[in-house]
A and B are shown apart, each in its own frame.
Chain A
Amino acid sequence: EVQLEQSGGGLVHPGGSLRLSCAASGFTLRSYWIHWVRQVPGKGLEWVSRITTDGRTRFADSVNGRFTISRDDTRNTLYLQMNSLRAEDTAVYFCARDEGSGTPLDFWGQGTLVTVSS
């Protein structure tokens, strides 16, 4: 069964860092593009970042330079490293997979809440 299991959310002070994890089961993570999408509670979906099968990454302007993505193929797990966090980064973060440009996000993680507050 295909699953994306997320972990790593929590409360962090402004300026702090947090690392989110997205562990895949039932498929090989490196064979898919993996995206991060976030959602401020009560609001819509916002695309954050993605990594391709060959390791190319891209980020939304709002997080570029502060967030990075890495992948551990031995653990079949993806990480979103979030630095210099701001209050406006507070959201539920989802990881999701697709098969490349133009394909749909066909499986999603359950989401993890990140709260940036003093």
Chain B
Amino acid sequence: AQSVAQPEDQVNVAEGNPLTVKCTYSVSGNPYLFWYVQYPNRGLQFLLKYITGDNLVKGSYGFEAEFNKSQTSFHLKKPSALVSDSALYFCAVRDKRNNDMRFGAGTRLTVKP
């Protein structure tokens, strides 16, 4: 079965600095990878996904993620962090063969002014 790991519970960055939220995955076939963001007392909001094609995927709010097959990673990045980016970020993986999406434990991003 597919699984995803987010090795960092918490990431702290200063406003204006680049940010990276890490994600690694395990799946037997071709992975479909997703990033979601959750603000306090809200549902998850879709940011971006990788299905096929260009390894660099651009998404909402200036976020992007790079699919690296050899390292089985799909790290989320943003060149310049905003305080409003502070939230809980979830990576998810889905196997091509089924509809079961597995979420990581989440990484809490805090951007300080």
A binds B: no
Taking beta carbons and an 8 Å cutoff, which residues of B are in contact with A? none
